[in-house]
Chain A
């Protein structure tokens, strides 16, 4: 057994930018978010929203500036940061031999969820997202929209104080976008810090406590 620090959801990205060789992926940008806030990153394709989210999540080292989670450097190698940050940044790789419910039970169990009620939590989450009937499907048996809902379920199944989402509305119909907006809003109200890139004005209007416009490098 080892102790892992519990970090609050304070997100501080000060002047973070990323340049690889001669190519600038992200101009220096500030993002500050406190627990319970939902920050929406807005900007055209290629402006660096995903890069910024990856820096905040500790997956990418910024070329300039600093990023912190709960006062600690955002570095995925830090167990406390890993415990604090949940993110849907691209498609997570899934087990092709596990069904949807198995995946959620696996995630829940590895985060110390109570085994006796793990199934119920998994089923409830799938139900909230409107895909409870698909619980015994394998990931390759889903449509692209259903896959997006499943990825969101995987991300939401684990505990976190910071939730990073890269265009969670991708491939979803209007009704499902509202469902997802409701769940993200609830997470924010429960004290989770949400930072998300989004192209949907309705979702942005419904959720954003603040909007950060990302300026493209060129």
Chain B
């Protein structure tokens, strides 16, 4: 039994009534929920099973392959350096930042719409009414955190970089991190709607945080979940992107300077990034991370072989954050042309800004790595960087102009369709240093042709998709 919280002074004279929250929610469960709750629990268990299987089959081997090297002593020293600890802390910080970011549009508490409309409208304690979805999220976060810690530490121990004692410590650390991230995620969800109580103390006052969740906010988050799920299922990436995006309101007095077609398209992208510093910074953070790892891999003999593929992932994502112009061009396919330039010229113009930024960051990182290392500038390394930039540009043409997935397609096809451009860049980017390594006969030629092939394929996609819609 609960009574309405903190009655106002004027309410003293008013008649009151008592609400048996558990009884009401039980009734609602019986009427609305039926078998749904049991089904949701079964789905959760299945997801955990799949996740555990993937961690065992892929996670553990990848981690131990990542740190497998012919020079484990040097690698162990580097992993115990201040820089490595800094990178670790930055990674944890990035996880919390991601939780805050996601909480703006998709928090941990997302009941189904009928529950929000029909049950949350009743005067039951909101903390009780939404608690089960919070618990699902907490269990999920604990599971992912624990599994992550276990996989990472087991992989490191197997590769001989850390002792076996680290495994239980990492497991506990992962669980604690998972719980903390879940609470920050909830806090961010509360903050996604205006309210009187949005302070940091909500991080440990979970029930109060759940009571602070506004009905309209819950509706919005639930709708966003449906939109994102629908977009993912149908391959409608624009809708998903717009759901993630925050409305632009900055620098409205800054004008697009008129000029010739090509430069004005380039200036458009520069203006876009100035108005969306979050995209600029996201791209910079990711690209810098990838650049540092790539530069390390190209200058340090102790770097494990898998460092290059690992660097390509953030490089690809960072480049993508800067390439919004390219995606917006692809979004407009199928409508009468507003832009006077041809599709290839337009696509080329939209590659200028991300490629220039990428060159700056990657070149700078390599220069710093060379300065810090004992060796000089390697021709193969520089060629690898130039070719990687080409592969990134080509890969993002493929990504922006990937079109729609096949109408009759299962989840596997959909995932393959979505990942195809990044996988192409990953494969080509990983092969480049091997092919361009000094003394490798004919390697340079193959590397150049690979990159030219990716760019040509991307341009072919631009042409094909621009005109394909007619039929």
Q: Name A's B-contacting residues (CB within 8 A).
A: 57-61, 75-77, 79, 82-83, 85-90, 92-93, 95-99, 101-102, 105-113, 115-116, 118-119, 136-138, 140-141, 154-155, 157-158, 164
B208 within 8 A of A: no
Sample of 19 A–B contacts (CB below 8 Å): A59-B334, A59-B470, A76-B467, A87-B336, A92-B338, A93-B331, A95-B325, A97-B271, A97-B275, A97-B324, A98-B268, A106-B256, A110-B341, A115-B260, A119-B255, A136-B252, A137-B252, A140-B248, A154-B338
Cβ contacts B17-52/A at 8 Å (1 or 0 each): 000000000000000000000000000000000000
B335 within 8 A of A: yes
Residues of the B chain whose Cβ atoms lie less than 8 Å from the Cβ of A90: 335
B374 within 8 A of A: no
Cα separation A115 to B252 with both chains bound (whole Å): 20
Residues of the B chain whose Cβ atoms lie less than 8 Å from the Cβ of A57: 336
Asked if A106 and B336 sit within 8 Å, CB to CB, the answer is no
Asked if A110 and B339 sit within 8 Å, CB to CB, the answer is yes
Asked if A97 and B340 sit within 8 Å, CB to CB, the answer is no
Q: What's the least CB distance linking B350 to chain A, in Å?
A: 11
The 7 residue pairs across chains A and B that have the minimum distance between CB atoms: A118-B258, A111-B340, A87-B336, A110-B340, A109-B264, A115-B258, A102-B256
Among residues 256 to 292 in chain B, which have CB atoms less than 8 Å away from a CB atom of chain A? 256-261, 264-265, 268, 271-272, 275-276
Asked if A98 and B470 sit within 8 Å, CB to CB, the answer is no
Asked if A106 and B268 sit within 8 Å, CB to CB, the answer is yes
CB nearest neighbor in B for A100: B252
Residues of the B chain whose Cβ atoms lie less than 8 Å from the Cβ of A82: 337
Residues of the A chain whose Cβ atoms lie less than 8 Å from the Cβ of B375: none
Asked if A110 and B261 sit within 8 Å, CB to CB, the answer is yes
Cα separation A140 to B246 with both chains bound (whole Å): 11
Asked if B255 and A58 sit within 8 Å, CB to CB, the answer is no
Partner of A102 from B255, B335, B336, B470 at Cβ < 8 Å: B255
Residues of the A chain whose Cβ atoms lie less than 8 Å from the Cβ of B467: 76-77
CB nearest neighbor in A for B337: A82
Cα separation A138 to B249 with both chains bound (whole Å): 7
Asked if B342 and A61 sit within 8 Å, CB to CB, the answer is no
Q: What's the least CB distance linking A121 to chain B, in Å?
A: 9
B328 within 8 A of A: yes
Q: Name B's A-contacting residues (CB within 8 A).
A: 238, 242, 245, 247-249, 252-253, 255-261, 264-265, 268, 271-272, 275-276, 324-325, 328, 331-332, 334-342, 346, 466-467, 469-471
Asked if A97 and B332 sit within 8 Å, CB to CB, the answer is no
Q: What's the least CB distance linking B215 to chain A, in Å?
A: 24
Asked if A95 and B265 sit within 8 Å, CB to CB, the answer is no
Asked if B260 and A138 sit within 8 Å, CB to CB, the answer is no
Asked if B265 and A96 sit within 8 Å, CB to CB, the answer is no
Asked if A58 and B470 sit within 8 Å, CB to CB, the answer is yes
Other A-B pairs, 18, CB within 8 Å; known A59-B335, A93-B335, A136-B252? A58-B470, A59-B336, A59-B469, A60-B470, A61-B471, A97-B276, A102-B255, A105-B257, A105-B264, A106-B265, A112-B261, A137-B252, A138-B252, A141-B249, A154-B338, A155-B336, A155-B338, A164-B336
CB nearest neighbor in B for A92: B335
Asked if A61 and B470 sit within 8 Å, CB to CB, the answer is yes
Residues of the B chain whose Cβ atoms lie less than 8 Å from the Cβ of A116: 258
Residues of the A chain whose Cβ atoms lie less than 8 Å from the Cβ of B275: 97
Q: What's the least CB distance linking A97 to chain B, in Å?
A: 4
Q: What's the least CB distance linking B340 to chain A, in Å?
A: 4
Cα separation A82 to B341 with both chains bound (whole Å): 10
* Residue of B265, B271, B338, B346 with most chain A CB atoms under a 10 A cut-off: B338
Q: What's the least CB distance linking B100 to chain A, in Å?
A: 22
With A60-B470, A97-B248 in contact, do A79 and B336 touch (Cβ < 8 Å)? no
With A77-B467, A158-B340 in contact, do A96 and B247 touch (Cβ < 8 Å)? yes
Cα separation A164 to B337 with both chains bound (whole Å): 12
Cα separation A90 to B12 with both chains bound (whole Å): 58
Partner of A101 from B255, B276, B470 at Cβ < 8 Å: B255
Q: What's the least CB distance linking A126 to chain B, in Å?
A: 13
Q: What's the least CB distance linking A136 to chain B, in Å?
A: 4
Cα separation A154 to B249 with both chains bound (whole Å): 21
